Amino acid sequence: MPTSPAASAPSVSVDLLIERGASLRACNTFGLPANAHTLVRVRSAADVRRVVNHPELGRAPKFILGGGSNLVLTQDVQACVLKMEIEGIRLLDTRDDAWIVEAGAGVGWHALVQWCLDHDLPGLENMALIPGTVGAAPVQNIGAYGVELKDRFESLDAVDLITGRMVTLDAAQCRFGYRDSVFKQALAGKSVITTVRLRLPRPWQAVLGYLELERKVAETGITEPTARQIFDWVCAIRRAKLPDPAVIGNAGSFFKNPVVTAEQCRDIIGRDPHVVHYPLEDGSFKLAAGWLIDACGWKGKSIGRAGVYDKQALVLVNRGGASGAEVVTLARAIQESVYGRFGIRLEPEPVVV
Ligand SMILES: Cc1cc2nc3c(=O)[nH]c(=O)nc-3n(C[C@H](O)[C@H](O)[C@H](O)COP(=O)(O)OP(=O)(O)OC[C@H]3O[C@@H](n4cnc5c(N)ncnc54)[C@H](O)[C@@H]3O)c2cc1C
């Protein structure tokens, strides 16, 4: 729904930048249409406390918005949207065994990866080109090509949305899991991450165990690549297989890779001996969600204006003008058919609002 210029004009209220009726279409990588009744641009931790103490906004429910790259908007957002725009990156400490880098929640994740490499601080290169903000990275413990945020995490600061109190949490308190953390569980929607500190181990060691990186080593003959070379490889691999949200709206992988018991895995192999599965240390197995979806014939298919990406069945795309409801309808149809064929209930990765 278009917003009239008058309705979206920013108004400064007690140092807070508040917008009414703001369009969120450009604030989510799916490009889904939705408006925010109230949007506050958060540029410091003090802004979060101002919101908490604000006579009107303090009482309102809140929704924290980063880059909108893990989001499916199905309707206008009535909650007060806190759009995270806290900037700043610095090298906080150089220890014998690690560099500690600190960044504001609104910094783009990929911009941080680039900044670190430009300052000879390697360690994040495997996670290059993941869209979104630094503040959202701990929420689902982002990861790619053999490295997860938890492997490079030192601590974070967050502000409680009820009390306005600032807390500092270490890795154990964040309870990181596969695409999971305390911010998706007990603290979901209750705490705003304002600053993240990363621990980049010294001496740096390349992480090359991932199949597509092993292929790059074999193709190029470079057995000891630099962090910059790994960064370039990861960017090239990602560009070849994932749609650029600036061109085709999407939220990356739409479903988590399901983890099943050994018994369940045997049952699924009985249904299809080709099923892609990886053993985990605890005896369980991780299944490739993209393979399950592809096996059900979904690659390239559409429902309405929402579709399954032709090159990667795990990615749902906006084929142009799709609504959030169409994306959800498609996701449910995929869940039903994967459940019907393999008995596995796929769990969506993005947050549905
Ligand atoms: C093309 C593409 C590729 C992707 N590839 C990967 C990948 O390889 N690995 C991976 O892990 N993910 C991947 N993603 C998913 C996405 O990039 C990550 O989940 C990212 O961390 C989301 O960041 P965001 O700022 O866009 O968060 P948003 O989508 O804005 O928000 C996501 C959730 O985090 C909450 N949140 C946001 N900021 C804060 C904050 N400061 N404090 C508290 N809560 C907050 C929101 O309320 C919401 O619940 C991909 C997405 C796309 C579009």
From first to last of its 353 residues, the chain has per-residue pLDDT tens of 333 333 444 444 457 899 999 999 999 999 999 999 999 999 999 999 999 999 999 999 999 999 999 999 999 999 999 999 999 999 999 999 999 999 999 999 999 999 999 999 999 999 999 999 999 999 999 999 999 999 999 999 999 999 999 999 999 999 999 899 999 999 999 999 999 999 999 999 999 998 899 999 999 999 999 999 999 999 999 999 899 999 999 999 999 999 999 999 999 898 889 988 889 889 999 999 999 999 999 999 999 999 999 999 999 999 999 999 999 999 999 999 999 999 999 999 999 99
Q: Is 207 helix (H, G, I), strand (E, B) or coil?
A: coil
Q: Cα(142) to centroid of ligand 1, in Å?
A: 8
Nearest to 198 by CA among 68, 96, 93: 93
Task: Please tell me which residue in 69, 155, 181, 253 is annotated as part of the active site.
Answer: 253
Indicate the pTM of the whole model: 0.91
Amino acid letter at 27? C
Report which protein residue has its CA nearest ligand 1's atom 39. Answer: 136
Determine whether the shortest distance from the Cβ of 69 to ligand 1 is under 6 A.
Answer: yes
Report which protein residue has its CA nearest ligand 1's atom 4. Answer: 252
* Residue 179 is a catalytic residue: yes
Task: Please tell me which residue in 43, 50, 152, 179 is annotated as part of the active site.
Answer: 179
| Cα 316 from chain centre | 15
Q: Cα(62) to centroid of ligand 1, in Å?
A: 17
Determine whether the shortest distance from the Cβ of 138 to ligand 1 is under 6 A.
Answer: no
Q: Which helix (H) or strand (E) holds 18?
A: strand 16-23
* Residue 349 is a catalytic residue: yes
d(CA 72, CA 69) in angstroms, rounded, equals 9
